[in-house]
Amino acid sequence: MKFLVVDDEKDVEMLFRQKFRKEIRNKQLELLFAFSGEEALEILESKTPPDVMYIFSDINMPGMSGIELLQHVKKHYPDIKVSMISAYGDSENYNRAIDSGAKEFFTKPINFETLKEEVQKEYNNSKDEQ
């Protein structure tokens, strides 16, 4: 299963790789990283249809925001699930994300146990569909 993590903070890649190293090593999960909304779209558009099944995106990024990315993905790739990540857990960000089609909303610092539960649920669902 390919997951795309979108965040303008480069250290997020190391953190995700560390937290999911067992799943990566067991080939349950492949992580791709984009450091802007625009770069995320390039990754999605590089394969037809995209092979990314799930996107975790920061909301606040320079250029295209995570909400704009979410809206684009939901319009053009409705089968890809998207969860939003924000340093601000306020109801405005939460409501905008959910109203725009986000599956889940995580606040920073990320609770990786909760995130792993979400990943495991999607992994199990994808195995059931095969």
Q: Is the pTM higher than 0.85?
A: yes
pLDDT digits (tens, 9 = 90+) for 10-22: 999 999 999 999 9
Instruction: Please give the pLDDT value at position 49.
Output: 87
Give residue limits of the domains in the chain. Answer: 2-129
List, in sequence order, every beta strand (DSSP E) within 16-117: 30-34, 52-58, 81-86, 104-107
Share of the chain above pLDDT 90, in %: 81
Tokens 């539960």 sit on residue? 117
Q: pLDDT below 50 — which residues of the chain?
A: none
CATH of domain 2-129: 3.40.50.2300
Instruction: Please give the pLDDT value at position 125.
Output: 80
By the 8 A CB rule, do 109 and 87 touch?
A: no
pLDDT digits (tens, 9 = 90+) for 55-79: 999 999 999 999 999 999 999 999 9
The count of other CB atoms within 10 Å of the CB of residue 80 is 18
